[in-house]
A and B are shown apart, each in its own frame.
Chain A
Amino acid sequence: MNSRRSTRAILAIAAVAAGCASMSDQEASQKALQLMKASFSERGQAKLDRLDQDEAQRLCSKPPSHELSKETSARIEKENLASIRYPADGKLIGDWKSGERIAQNGQGKQFNDDPKRPSGANCYACHQLSRQEISFGTIGPSLYQYGKLRGTSEAIQRYTYGKVYNSQGFTACSNMPRFGHNGILTEQQMKDVTALLLDPESPVNK
């Protein structure tokens, strides 16, 4: 049934495309979205609405050759920065030990994950953090000695918590998930990750 529907979709696309040599970029984007909507099925917590992009996702879905204008980047950053909600109790530093577990955990939000269990942040997938963990990725910069190098002033605390909450408030189209903005981590989890980065006792700062 679904394959028939998707076949029809691609036939419709082909009928349009046959007329001209190639599609415009915007046409192609629209057709790709149609194609994807017909080619994915909902499973577990992953519904089809995950293919509905917000503005940042849409603007950031471009090859590196299509660099965003300064104005567009600034707009993405401004809007994302405004989305950050700081904890009502004003405390930004939680428990670094819990933060380490969150940094190691790559589960959460996948169609096979239990939505009742807390998500991880999987920081080590992309960042070096502590010296002990040799299995770390390099998509993001090394965060080893993050707090030792920057100190723990209130400004640094707010920047760090904010960056975890919504990275695109600081860098448009950052590869880093917007953990608070998109509801991946809870407030307490973000405090714990902030502690992992800033607490002098954390292995990150040893």
Chain B
Amino acid sequence: MKRPLVRLGLRARLLAAGALIVLVPAAPSFSQSAVDEIAKYRQQLQDGNPAELWEARGEALWKTKRGPKNVSMEACDLGKGAGVVKGAYAELPRYFADADRVMDLETRLVHCMTTQQGFSFAEATKRPFGAGASRSDFEALAAWITSESKGVTMNVALAHPKEREAYQLGEKMFYFRGGPHDFACATCHGETGKRIRLQDLPNLTEKAGAQLAYTTWPAYRVSQGELRTFQWRLNDCYRQQRFPELKFTSDASIALTAFLAHNANGAAFNAPAIKR
């Protein structure tokens, strides 16, 4: 079957295309087949995740002597002992006695950057999220550190009273409706089997949904060409909820993370992932 490629004029082709739209009614099952096709698209992306580029940079950052005190982060205690990275993310957020505070990964990294490397808080937190050439150390560090928990079972404890409190306040935040659109986290993530546009919305109030969602961040977002952390996910959800800006390493941010991370307990951590 051979035919020349450029045969129809542009106008003829446009007319043909237009006729197609008018004459062919959408099949009733179209939305289901669309969902299936998108599943295939996602599958095709799995092989070759650019998150690896962030992981490599993060590992180098962790091991590089930096800051006024010119030390690496290799003595940083992420909760499993100084310098232990393997499996650490699957147990965060957790209570740290040396700071007398529940901390998530980013907060703990800032703690190590300020107490061990000698950075000021302002210097350490100046770029939580990257954009193109302006890159965030946190995204790189999180990519590598989380990759060291791949396959590890989520196990976020509620042993310390402050861990329990963070969880309880995080749950309150999850249901908190506010802003001009009356949105809460629960508006989009409180029911099973719902979508926004074509994106499946995990139900974060039940085990399966919370596990699926939490264990697949950080992720390389193809729509942005950036690696995004769970911290970023919370910030951007609140932006779209029309709330003011969630402060990086703030207690509310840690509390909500504690609520969602604990709900994912029992599942194997599976990130950095790749998403739309």
Contact = CB atoms under 8 A, between A and B. Distances in A.
Complex A–B touching at CB under 8 A:
yes
A42 interface: yes
A126 B195 CA distance: 7
Contacts of B249: 3
Interface in A1-25: 2-3, 6-7, 9-10, 13-14, 17-18, 22-23
Interface of B: 21, 25-26, 30-31, 34, 101, 121, 161-162, 164-165, 168-169, 171-173, 175-184, 186-188, 190-191, 193-198, 201, 205, 238-240, 242-247, 249-253, 255
Given A36-B252, A41-B245, A182-B182, A61 B194 contact: no
Given A17-B161, A39-B253, A62-B175, A126 B196 contact: yes
Interface of A: 2-3, 6-7, 9-10, 13-14, 17-18, 22-23, 28-29, 31-33, 35-36, 38-43, 46-48, 50-53, 56-58, 60-64, 109-112, 124-126, 128, 131-132, 134-139, 175, 177-178, 182-184
A183 B247 contact: no
Closest 6 pairs (CB-CB, A-B): A39-B252, A39-B250, A32-B172, A40-B244, A177-B181, A43-B245
B180 A61 contact: no
A57 B182 contact: yes
Nearest to B249: A3
A158 to B, nearest CB: 22
Taking chain B's interface residues, is the majority helix, strand, or loop, or is none over half, making it mixed?
mixed
A131 B173 CA distance: 37
Nearest to A14: B162
B178 A50 contact: yes
Given A40-B252, A137-B197, A184 B173 contact: no
Contacts of B173: 32, 35-36
Contacts of B171: 63
Given A3-B121, A134-B30, 4 more contacts: A39-B253, A126-B196, A136-B197, A182-B180
A124 B195 CA distance: 11
A6 B239 CA distance: 20
Contact of B194 (A13, A23, A124, A137): A137
A35 B169 contact: yes
A43 B244 contact: yes
Contact of B252 (A35, A46, A175): A35
